[in-house]
């Protein structure tokens, strides 16, 4: 099927601005195939159903719109945790600023930069790089992810064979107001392995990121992300996860500010008795557009999936949620849960939700709900009547609203850090 | 302590007059009871005094220790020593009862220029107060009033009162929905707080609470006014004969 001319023109214009890095045959094949996928799909356009609530133009334009850098003047998130730091500045790995991975002599984990992995004729990441992304293109197309696979300029490949106690923190610094970063990470957890990955920072003026995660039988992957406070940045991120039997996958994202954020998460259960939770809390004031798009496919027995997304919006901020649970034939005993809620702090804020269930097995339990509403005035009065000042009482109620999402973070120290960021944001943005 | 003069209140959204000239003078150390048929304006009076939105004072005044309460924000009234035990305590999912109690106590202390209570001291304090009201640790851990039975909610109101030690306590039908044992607990909580520097306004539908919290004055409210005032025996009269006789008598 031929693409409409405008779409193919827009795609070619974007592609023309990019260059495919050199590498071994497997990497070249992965990238060339991704480019072919991209050309067949075309970049997303305004009329595409999957982009009904989010305008893709600034994400697909040949040049990135500039975004001023921003000094948050606060201790960076996760700073007090004992962690392994891997730093990218405007999408380029910064060895100086990062921990020396080789010197750390960590047992059970191997970390290598994408460009180094691509030089090997054989590398474990060849079974993941672009492979999970390609699987995630069906039944819904994700062209920005294919573009990423074809043209990613940097990224980190993490191979884990054991339980790793220290989290790995991918730190993204934004220093140039014209940076246009494309990062691609692959993470492979072998049987019984256990890893926590933290991501923090705004990355670039425009950021396209893919993370592919293979979680083998009995392995556990935890992910906590804080997208930076830069107001003008734009980001399109994809997470593709394939889960083996009895594995665990838990991802939480906090987003504060950002004119445009689209976070897609695609999870596929391939082994029985696995668990996947995807959660997000976002707070937006003014020129803020935040889109969570999630697709969970149950293709195994007795798996549990939870999607918990909460958005706090004011002053024209917009929230979007598109979430789907697909239960394939034979995926009996599926336990699927999905909730998306917006707290609209004034009449100008907007929330669009498209929750979907598609079920082809008969013995399953799936529920979903979506609401948007204002602060509960009765609760507010109750708190104030006990002496809690108006602003503080509102903050308490906002945090209470976000609690179900924040509670998805298992590590108490990380959860505490996240809550303190939310408190600080709320204190700065009182109505 | 609390002086209410010719208070007229209408609904903000509708042209409906609810209080039509209420006068009341509650002195420190006294317990006043307000009784009256449903819909006579008792809860409205308690809400207007504590600062809930939705009402408009069209005439009259109310002062707490000489200060105009009607001009204050709800939190300022609380810090000034006014407390309302709600007829229908509000459930607040996601806010832990302990967090709520500590936030409230420290907010009031801060507003009065006092030091905040440390987490450890607070824990000691709240455990002691909770024990007297037979409130278990689980009720303290749960979100505010969520999943509480009617009686638990009312006991939680009295716990807040015991913790915050307000000067002017207004109790709106704190006895409704309580069995005899729970009512004794609640009355015990109130009586423990009675002292020369504190006053109570006890709104109730039934006389039975007043067997346990013996009032100095009983007022009968009907159709937005206080129509009769007497001593504790007035409550007994209501219990025996209902409101009809009294209302006929004043009509
Ligand atoms: N917010 C409101 N909206 C509409 N009517 C109200 C509101 N508050 C009070 N009322 C009306 O005012 C009258 C007095 O109510 P209330 O103060 O609750 O009486 P009581 O507590 O004595 O039973 C009733 O007729 C009630 O329906
Ligand atoms: Mg009432």
Residue A289 lies in a domain: yes
Predicted pLDDT of residue A302: 98
Kindly determine whether residue A381 and residue B93, on different chains, have CB atoms separated by under 8 Å: no
What percent of chain B lies above the pLDDT cut of 70?
99
Tell me the average confidence (pLDDT) per consecutive run of 10 residues in chain A, 431 residues long.
90 96 96 98 96 97 92 90 96 95 84 96 96 97 98 97 96 96 98 98 96 98 93 96 98 96 98 98 96 98 98 97 98 98 96 97 96 96 97 96 96 96 92 66
Place of tokens 């039934």: B206
Q: Which residues pair with A49 in a beta bridge?
A: none
Per-residue confidence (pLDDT) for residue B238, from 0 to 100: 85
Cβ B144 vs Cβ B100: under 8 Å: yes
Residue B251 has pLDDT above 70, yes or no: no
Instruction: State which H helix or E strand residue A28 sits in.
Output: helix A25-41
- Mean pLDDT value across residues B201-224: 91
pLDDT at B39: 92
**B90: nearest CB among A379, A389, A400:** A379
Residue (of A295, A321, A337) closest to A137 by Cα position: A295
**Averaged pLDDT score across all residues of chain A:** 96
Asked if the structure places residue A363 within a domain, the reply is yes
Q: Relative to the alpha carbon of B17, which ligand is closest?
A: 1
Q: Which of B248, B249, B242, B250 is nearest to B225 (CA)?
A: B250
Q: What is the pLDDT of residue A129?
A: 98
Tens digit of each residue's pLDDT (9 = 90 or more) over B140-174: 999 999 999 888 899 999 999 999 999 999 999 98
List, for residues A382-402, the tens digit of each pLDDT value.
999 999 999 999 999 999 999
Write phi, then psi, for B73 (nearest 5 degrees). -70, 155
In degrees and rounded to multiples of 5, residue A399 shows phi and psi of: -65, -35
**Residue of B16, B43, B44, B173 to test ligand 1 pocket, by largest number of atoms within 8 Å of CB:** B44
Ligand nearest to the CA of B224: 1
Residue A116 within any structural domain of the chain: yes
Q: Residue A412 domain-assigned?
A: no
pLDDT digits (tens, 9 = 90+) for B61-118: 999 999 999 999 999 999 999 999 999 999 999 999 999 999 999 999 999 899 999 9
Q: What is chain A's length?
A: 431
Residue A397 falls within a domain, yes or no?
no
CA–chain centroid gap for A11, Å, is 24
Mean pLDDT of all residues in B112-141: 91
* Residue A330: both structure tokens together: 């034979």
Tell me, what's the pLDDT at A431?
Answer: 66
Q: What are phi and psi of B195, to 5 degrees?
A: -155, 175
- What is the average pLDDT value for chain B, to the nearest integer? 92
pLDDT at A430: 82
Of the partner residues B83, B93, B104, the one whose CB lies closest to the CB of residue A388:
B104
pLDDT, mean of residues B11-31? 95
Residue the block writes with tokens 């079920």: A359
Asked whether the predicted pLDDT for residue B206 surpasses 90, the reply is: no
pLDDT at B25 over 80: yes
pTM value > 0.90: yes
Q: Nearest-CA neighbor of A60 among A163, A166, A151? A: A151
Evaluate the CA torsion angle A83, A212, A63, A234 in order and state its sign: negative
Q: What is the ipTM of this complex?
A: 0.96
A52: DSSP letter: S
CA distance A422 to A424: 5
| A385–B53 CB contact, under 8 Å | no
Do residues A345 and A401 touch, judged by C-beta distance below 8 A?
Answer: no
Note the pLDDT of residue A101. 80
Angle at B208 between CA B205 and CA B213, to 5 degrees: 100
Residue B18 near ligand 1, beta carbon < 6 Å: yes
Using the beta-carbon criterion (under 8 Å), do A384 and B164 form an inter-chain contact?
Answer: no
Which string of DSSP letters, residue by residue, matches A91-113? TEE-TTTS--HHHHT-TTEEEEE
What are residue A306's DSSP bridge partners?
A277, A337
Per the CB < 8 A criterion, the answer to whether A117 and A123 are in contact is: yes
- Domain limits for position A172: 5-373
Per-residue model confidence (pLDDT) at position A171: 97
Q: Does some domain include residue A383? A: no
The structural domain count of chain A equals 1
- Confidence category of residue B34, pLDDT binned at 50, 70, 90: very high
Any domain includes A418: no
């Amino acid at each position: 099927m031929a693409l409409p001319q405008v779409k193919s023109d827009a795609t070619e214009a974007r592609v023309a601005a990019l260059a495919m890095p050199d590498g071994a045959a497997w990497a070249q094949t992965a990238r060339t195939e991704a480019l072919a996928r991209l050309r067949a799909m075309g970049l997303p356009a305004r009329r595409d159903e999957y982009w009904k609530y989010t305008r893709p133009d600034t994400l697909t334009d040949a040049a990135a719109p500039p975004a001023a850098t921003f000094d948050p003047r606060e201790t960076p998130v996760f700073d007090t945790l004992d962690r392994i730091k891997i730093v990218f500045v405007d999408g380029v790995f910064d060895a100086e600023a990062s921990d020396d991975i080789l010197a750390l002599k960590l047992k059970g984990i191997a970390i290598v930069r994408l460009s180094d992995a691509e030089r090997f004729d054989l590398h474990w990441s060849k079974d993941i790089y672009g492979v999970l992304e390609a699987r995630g293109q069906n039944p819904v197309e994700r062209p920005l992810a294919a573009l990423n696979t074809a043209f990613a300029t940097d990224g980190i490949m993490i191979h884990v064979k054991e339980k790793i106690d220290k989290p790995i923190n991918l730190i993204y610094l934004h220093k140039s107001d014209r940076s246009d970063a494309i990062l691609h990470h692959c993470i492979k957890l072998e049987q019984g392995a256990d890893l926590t990955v933290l991501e923090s920072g705004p990355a670039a003026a425009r950021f396209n990121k893919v993370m592919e995660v293979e979680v083998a039988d009995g392995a556990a992957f935890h992910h906590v992300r804080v997208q930076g406070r830069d107001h003008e940045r734009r980001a399109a991120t994809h997470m593709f996860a394939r889960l083996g039997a009895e594995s665990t996958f838990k991802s939480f994202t906090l987003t504060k500010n950002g004119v445009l954020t689209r976070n897609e998460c695609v999870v596929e259960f391939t082994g029985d008795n696995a668990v996947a939770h995807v959660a997000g809390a976002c707070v937006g004031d003014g020129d803020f557009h935040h889109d969570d798009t999630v697709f969970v496919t149950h293709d195994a027995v007795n798996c549990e999936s939870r999607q918990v997304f909460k958005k706090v919006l004011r002053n024209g901020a917009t929230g979007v949620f598109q979430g789907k649970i697909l239960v394939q034939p034979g995926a009996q005993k599926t336990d699927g849960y999905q909730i998306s809620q917006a707290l609209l702090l004034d009449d100008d804020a907007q929330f669009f939700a498209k929750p979907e269930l598609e079920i082809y097995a008969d013995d399953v339990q799936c529920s979903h709900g979506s609401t948007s509403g204002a602060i509960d005035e009765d609760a507010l009065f109750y708190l104030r009547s006990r002496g809690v000042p108006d602003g503080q009482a509102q903050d308490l109620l906002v945090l209470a609203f976000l609690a179900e999402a924040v509670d998805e973070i298992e590590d108490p120290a990380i959860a505490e850090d996240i809550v303190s960021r939310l408190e600080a944001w709320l204190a700065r943005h009182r109505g | 302590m609390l002086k209410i003069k010719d208070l007229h209140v209408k609904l903000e959204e509708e042209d409906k007059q609810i209080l039509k000239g209420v006068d009341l003078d509650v002195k420190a150390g006294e317990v006043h009871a307000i009784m009256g048929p449903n819909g006579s304006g008792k809860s409205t009076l308690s809400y207007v005094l504590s600062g809930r939105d939705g009402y408009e004072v069209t005439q009259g005044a109310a002062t707490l220790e000489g200060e105009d309460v009607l001009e204050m924000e709800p939190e300022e009234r609380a810090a000034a020593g006014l407390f309302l035990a709600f007829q229908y305590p509000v459930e607040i999912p996601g806010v832990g009862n302990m967090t709520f109690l500590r936030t409230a106590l420290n907010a009031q202390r801060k507003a009065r220029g006092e030091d905040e209570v440390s987490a450890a001291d607070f824990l000691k304090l709240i455990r002691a107060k909770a024990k007297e009201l037979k409130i278990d640790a689980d009720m303290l851990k749960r979100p505010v009033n969520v999943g509480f039975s009617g009686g638990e909610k009312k006991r939680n109101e009295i716990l807040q009162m015991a913790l915050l030690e307000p000067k002017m306590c207004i109790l709106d039908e704190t006895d409704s929905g309580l069995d005899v044992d729970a009512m004794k607990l609640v009355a015990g909580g109130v009586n423990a707080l009675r002292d020369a520097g504190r006053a109570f306004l006890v709104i109730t539908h039934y006389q039975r609470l007043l067997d346990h919290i013996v009032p100095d004055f009983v007022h009968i409210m009907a159709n937005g006014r206080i129509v009769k005032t007497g001593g504790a025996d007035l409550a007994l009269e209501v219990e025996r004969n209902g409101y009809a006789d009294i209302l006929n008598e004043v009509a």
